[in-house]
């Protein structure tokens, strides 16, 4: 009897962690109670959250094998499947947020709009599609939408919808990356960071003055670990995991400035909730502990040209003639040398949804009526 009890005890002891891991790996653990307040999301950013803006806005070709899993076709996303923002939307049981520029796609924008476009930065301010331009597009979109509401247009977002919406910002990586590409010294890149932070502060203030109260701010990832950077940079100063130390150091300085900005905004903006999400730590952990997560060659692109160690060639990028994709993207963190695979994004999403990387610790559905399972 005693041994029977012990066997059950150890079975339970082993089963609970296993169940926890399974739940953590599945990003659909929190849902909005959409019957009371359908989730509305507005996103501003770069290619990390571009769901088709570059393709729709400039006709930029993003060819197969992009989108080869889940969508089974290219959707303008730089990945083999879903992005982090897609997985976060799915956790709310809402549809993907459509690119603002995709009016030809017949998008209804009933659950918000995505203003993110690949290549975007905060500076210079007035070049397509900088953060300032994305904000101008939002202001135009909001004014036009509220006009439609007054004419009795059925499914348009009303003033309350804009007020209760979630405003996501994920930008800054290109500011840092472009600075290094222009051969600025590390000290010169660091000197630019306060100006980048100021642009993000201005964006938050603009959205707040428009009635926005719910903000979800992603910091920037360890871009010194991107196969693209590793293949292009000569005389690399590598850390123990093979990433460029100076690039990642600049990312951490930027992130610290962004974290302080969020603290400042919380005290300055009355009745606003500003959540800071540490994407850097999540992504760096994926690379540092790749085998634990089932990934091989964490610094090598699945889709590209050139083979090991990085499989990246600027003249033969993923989707262009001569490039080749690996058979199993689930074994790779990097999809095309710059962006992540759906497999990596799924783990990132589960960690974001865990609240462990959010300050303050906040469930992603905080902006709408909450129902947890």
Instruction: Supply the residues annotated as catalytic.
Output: 47, 336, 339
Tell me the C-alpha to C-alpha distance, in Å, between residue 223 and each of 36, 63, 88, 125, 163.
40, 24, 22, 22, 34
Task: State the DSSP code for 107.
Answer: -
Of the candidates 363, 358, 364, 346, the residue with the CA atom closest to the CA atom of residue 86: 346
Of the candidates 92, 65, 89, 88, the residue with the CA atom closest to the CA atom of residue 77: 65
Cα dihedral value 254, 255, 258, 263, nearest 10:
-140
**Two structure tokens written together for 186:** 């590390």
163 CB neighbour count, 10 Å cutoff: 13
Task: State the DSSP code for 317.
Answer: -
Mutual angle of helices 245-268 and 279-288, in 10-degree steps: 150
149 CB neighbour count, 10 Å cutoff: 15
Q: Do 338 and 47 contact (CB within 8 A), yes or no?
A: yes
Bridge partners, 214 (sequence order): 166, 273
User: What are the backbone angles phi and psi of residue 31, rounded to the nearest 5°?
Assistant: -130, 145
Tell me the C-alpha to C-alpha distance, in Å, between residue 216 and each of 178, 197, 199, 212, 363.
24, 15, 16, 11, 11
């Amino acid at each position: 009897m005693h041994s029977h009890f012990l066997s059950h005890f150890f079975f339970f002891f082993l089963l609970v962690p296993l169940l926890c891991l399974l739940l953590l790996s599945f990003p659909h653990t929190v849902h909005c109670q959409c019957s009371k307040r359908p989730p509305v999301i507005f996103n501003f950013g770069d290619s990390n959250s571009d769901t088709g803006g570059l393709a729709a806005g400039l006709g930029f070709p993003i060819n197969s094998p992009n989108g080869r899993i889940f969508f089974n076709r290219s959707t303008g996303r730089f990945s083999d499947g879903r992005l982090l923002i897609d997985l976060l939307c799915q956790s709310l049981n809402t549809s993907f947020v459509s690119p603002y520029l995709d009016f030809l796609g017949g998008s209804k924008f009933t659950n918000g709009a995505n203003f993110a476009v690949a290549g975007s930065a905060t500076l210079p301010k007035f070049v397509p599609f900088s953060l300032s331009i994305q904000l101008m597009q939002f202001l135009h979109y909001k004014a036009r939408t509220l006009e439609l509401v007054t004419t009795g247009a059925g499914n348009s977002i009303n003033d309350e919808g804009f007020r209760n919406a979630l405003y996501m910002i994920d930008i800054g990586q290109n500011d840092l990356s472009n600075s290094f590409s222009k051969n600025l010294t590390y000290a010169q890149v660091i000197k630019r960071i306060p100006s980048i932070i100021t642009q993000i502060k201005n964006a938050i203030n603009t959205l707040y003055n428009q009635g926005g109260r719910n903000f979800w701010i992603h910091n920037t990832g360890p871009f010194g670990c991107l196969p693209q950077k590793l293949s292009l940079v000569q005389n690399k100063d590598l850390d123990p995991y093979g990433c460029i130390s100076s690039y990642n150091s600049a990312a951490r300085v930027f992130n610290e400035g962004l974290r302080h900005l969020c603290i400042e905004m919380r005290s300055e903006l009355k009745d606003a909730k500003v959540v800071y999400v540490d994407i850097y730590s999540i992504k760096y952990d994926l690379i540092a502990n790749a085998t634990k997560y089932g990934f091989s060659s964490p610094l090598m692109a699945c889709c590209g040209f050139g083979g090991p160690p990085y499989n990246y060639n600027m003249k033969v990028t993923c989707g262009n003639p001569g490039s080749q994709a690996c058979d199993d993207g689930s074994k790779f963190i990097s999809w095309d040398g710059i962006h992540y695979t759906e497999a990596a994004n799924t783990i990132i999403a589960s960690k974001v949804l865990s609240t462990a990387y959010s300050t303050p610790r906040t469930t992603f559905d905080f902006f709408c009526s909450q129902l947890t399972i």
